[in-house]
Structure 1
Amino acid sequence: MACLPAAPPALRRWLGLGLFVLLCLSLGYALEKKVVKSKVGEKVGLPCCHEIPSSQSLHNYRVYWQKNTTEVVLAYAEGKMISKHDRYENRTEMNTKNLTLWISPVEILDNGPYQCVVQHLTYLQNSVVVCDEPVTLFVTADFSKPNITAEVSADSCESTEMVVKCSSYGGFPKPKISGALNNASMVWNASWVSESSLSPYNVTGQLRLNVTKDVSITCSVEYNGFTKSTSLLLKKTNYCVVPTVPPSHNVITASSIIIIIFLLAITLAARYLPRHVCSHCCKPQDSVEEGVKECMKPPVSSKVTSETSSV
């Protein structure tokens, strides 16, 4: 008996990878079909894993819709409803062909896993389980638009210290709160309040900032694929005028000395430099000193000169 040649290692590796990808895609598709999302107040349909053929009727089946595998939402047997939970009264109905469970209006308490169990009745009144698969309902309640407040705790010329708070309420499920400061991501000190795991949440984020200039802050609340955001401009409240620096002691001393020297020079110049001699009151002399003395003599009047001449 001849042996077939073994596949090359590279080919085996590619075949294995292809099978793995197909398996992941098929699992992803199956999981996607089993997840349903809805908002509070809307109408939602949960698909069942079986559809009754057109040649048969609901009388040949038993159908049980249950939540958390313990709480029967409603049940049908031989074409009639035999049970319905009080909490779903007047809010649920089932399609008699594709067995889809319709819930309206949706409440937060409806959030969770459901299961559709279908049994087929034989002519001997024996029951055979046709399908038994879960489907998960994700319920969303919108949060309020985030509200940002800022309180100044300290102020100076250099910076303004602020306590910034962001709050949002009334939503479901438990949210994630994030933020940005001038488009740069930041982390809030967050706290959540809720009466139970199936009750609306209130969320608050707090942050201390030293604001040295006007900045924009953003608060975002993210929940079940939805986002609510708010932005606020934080302004630095105290802009101080920098005082003029007084001249140093050395500069004052040097300036004083220069002024004193200048005044002393002017005084000495006025006292010791020769005065200007008038041409009409002094005759030129051989020396400066004689010229000064001649100039200082009192002038002789013309009357005295005439009298002297007559004598």
Structure 2
Amino acid sequence: MTGLPASPAALRTWLGLGLFVLLCLGIGQALEKKVVRSKVGEKVSLPCCHEIPSSESLHKYRVYWQKNITDVVLAYSEGSKIFQHERYQNRTEMDPWNLTLWISPMEILDNGSYQCVVQRNSVLVCSESVILFVTADFSTPNITAEVSAESCDSTEMVITCSSHGGFPKPKISGALNNMSVEWNASWVSESSFSPYSVTGKLVLNVTKDVNISCSVEYSGFAKSTSLLLKKTKNCVVPPVPPPYNVITASIIILITFILAITLAARYLPRHVCSQCCKRQDSAEEGVKECTKAPMSSKMTSETSSV
């Protein structure tokens, strides 16, 4: 027969190995914890680790349902209820065969870790933990916009998104024309197990009509809403005066054009008049030549007859 090592060093080694095994078993049990999710007002069932065979009855068993290891929710012994926590009065019942614990209606304070402990003839049959996550729906977010400053180019707005009455503590997110934005969020709650109110604020410079959305996310659920933001002030932009060099060039062109017209007005009448006079003089000379020609012809004939 082999006994435990007698030396202190060997004993410490065995104790260390034992503690390591217990730690591993504890971690394994923690990883095997079941998770149940429910909402405020609903009915939830928490499964136990043992089911009584049809050949037996609850009279041979002791069953304890406890919360956070310290508070006993419900206790049965020899088939009868021997204890029930005042917070769970008229809200809990246990199945006599599969030992499932039913809680209805759910409250935020029911959130936590539960443990089912089963004994048969004072011998532990099983012990298993169940984590219960309780959620409460938030109201549909409400978005408001307040104009803080405006100009022809843009409108500065303070956007507020708020929601209340939910659990657990939520996240708030949003998008501006499908591009994510970060809200400056704040939360209000009376305690860690009380409903939350959340408010998010955002300052935007709106240069055109845009759509903003706000979403409140909690324990895998979400409530969203959106609002169309419109630019409030549209101004008629005055024409931009041309640059100094453009004005100077325009003045020079205009002066040149006026001088050209003035010179043309003075020069063209004289030129036309001189051309007309030349034409008239040429015509008169032609008439004179025509008149002189017959006379010289007549004188020639008279001379020849003499």
Q: How far is 1:95 from its partner?
A: 0.8
Change (3 A) 1:278 1:158: closer
Aligned residues: 254
1:253 paired residue number: 251
**Residue 184 (structure 1) aligned with residue 179 (structure 2):** yes
Q: 1:204 is matched with which residue: 191, 199, 206?
A: 199
Three-state SS of the structure 2 residue aligned to 1:236 is coil
Q: How far is 1:89 from its partner?
A: 0.8
Three-state SS of the structure 2 residue aligned to 1:50 is coil
Q: Distance in 1 between matches of 2:210 and 2:89?
A: 53
1:223 paired residue number: 218
Which one-letter code corresponds to 1:45 in the other structure?
A: S
Q: Distance in 1 between matches of 2:29 and 2:60?
A: 31
Change (3 A) 1:82 1:285: closer
Three-state SS of the structure 2 residue aligned to 1:260 is helix
What is the TM-score normalised by the length of structure 2?
A: 0.75
Alignment of 1:262-301 (within 5 A): 262-269=260-267, 272-273=270-271, 275=273, 284=281
2:135 paired residue number: 140
Bigger proportion of residues as helix: 2
Deviations 1:53-81 (A, max 9, x none): 11111111111111111111111111111
Which one-letter code corresponds to 2:258 in the other structure?
A: I
Deviates more, 1:231-240 or 1:262-271: 262-271
Deviates more, 1:90-99 or 1:250-259: 250-259
Q: How far is 1:175 from its partner?
A: 0.8
Which one-letter code corresponds to 1:64 in the other structure?
A: Y
Structure 1 residues without counterparts, runs of 5 or longer: 1-25, 122-126, 288-311
Change (3 A) 1:28 1:250: farther
Three-state SS of the structure 2 residue aligned to 1:268 is helix
Alignment of 1:71-90 (within 5 A): 71-90=71-90
Change (3 A) 1:76 1:286: closer
What is the TM-score normalised by the length of structure 1?
A: 0.74
Identity of aligned residues (%): 67
**Residue 111 (structure 1) aligned with residue 106 (structure 2):** no
Deviates more, 1:262-271 or 1:90-99: 262-271
1:131 paired residue number: 126
Q: Distance in 2 between matches of 1:118 and 1:49?
A: 8
Change (3 A) 1:82 1:271: same
